[in-house]
Amino acid sequence: MNVFAIVNPLSGAGADPDVAAERVALLTERFAAEGVDAIVHLTERRHHATDLARTAIASGASIVIAWGGDGTINEVASVIDGSGRAMGVIPAGSGNGFARELGLPAEPHAAIDVILRGRDMLIDVGELDGRSFFNIAGIGVDAVIAEQFNTRAMGRRGMGPYVIIGLREAFRYRAARYRIVLDGEEVHSSALLIAFANGREYGNGIRLAPHARMDDGKLEAVVVEDRSPLARLWGGRHLVRGTTHLAAKITLRSIERAEVHSDAPIRYHLDGETGQADRHVRVCIHPKRLRMRVPVSC
């Protein structure tokens, strides 16, 4: 086993300056004890994880580890995707939706055990506007929430600020008009949210697409029609309960391809990483393209 570990020293670290050294020491000690050939790198800037993942592939690593949140995981997985190399994850984000979906433990020692002794599982990869996502991509209010959340300094994120931003946008956000094509079926909507889910939840148990599976060759499309601010808040209970399929004014479809058209630029997020397209995006699914190291019981 030849391991290349990419560690985000800020994800989940709060204001603790010793976290980076502790993470490197833990990985180095565990892999040395197991007789595993391992290289450990810390990320130093935005998108550095992408560069390090390319180095990992070039060096011939058989397993590439991402220690961080969904953003770090997205950067690494976007490079590992389709390479045939396995990817391991040690979750350290604000919500860890991707890791929770795969049953990956949050405790670092347990997550390393999975990397050393787990099994490989091929999962699907979503694509929006030519960019990959692995859990959930969204257009509309959740993209705006992600954009504002990402401006907060590391150590000032977490569930609390995410909820506060969401509550504020429940009253402030103005929905746009969209033409959406879901596997050839056309939908016109003043949408609060358009999401494409490979996994079921954003993180922290906030479940958007309860029927999504990461290995079924489908995306769950979720179109939430706009409503009054109070109705937006009341409808939010379905995210906590995982019952969006029972909510009013929501379109749910299992799809392979989609298009979204608007008269204005389209703001979106991919696993929490934000972007913008010029009035039109295409969405598709690539079945079983990313090899993930998961628990044997998963």
DSSP 3-17: EEEEE-SSTT-TT-T
Give the length of the chain: 298
pLDDT at position 154, please?
A: 56
Q: What class, spelled out in words, does domain 131-289 have in CATH? A: mainly beta
pLDDT at position 13, please?
A: 60
Cα dist from 293 to 102, 103, 146, whole Å:
9, 11, 27
Q: CA angle, corner 52, sides to 14 and 73, nearest 5?
A: 50
List the domain boundaries for the chain. 2-117, 131-289
Q: Which two tokens stand for residue 282?
A: 């295409």
pLDDT at position 297, please?
A: 86
pLDDT at position 156, please?
A: 59
pLDDT at position 153, please?
A: 60
Amino acid at 95: G
Q: What class, spelled out in words, does domain 2-117 have in CATH? A: alpha beta
Q: What backbone torsions phi and psi does residue 177 show, to the nearest 5 degrees?
A: -95, 135
Q: Which two tokens stand for residue 118?
A: 């787990």
Instruction: Evaluate whether 2-117 and 131-289 have a shared fold.
Output: no
Q: What is the mean pLDDT of each run of 10 residues along the chain (298 residues)?
A: 92 71 95 95 92 96 94 95 96 88 95 97 97 96 83 62 79 93 95 96 87 97 94 88 88 97 95 92 98 92
Q: Which two tokens stand for residue 198?
A: 């490979």
pLDDT at position 14, please?
A: 56
Which SS3 state, helix, strand or coil, does residue 201 take? strand
pLDDT at position 157, please?
A: 58
pLDDT at position 159, please?
A: 66
Q: Which two tokens stand for residue 85?
A: 């190399």
Residues 6+ apart with CB under 8 A from 33: none
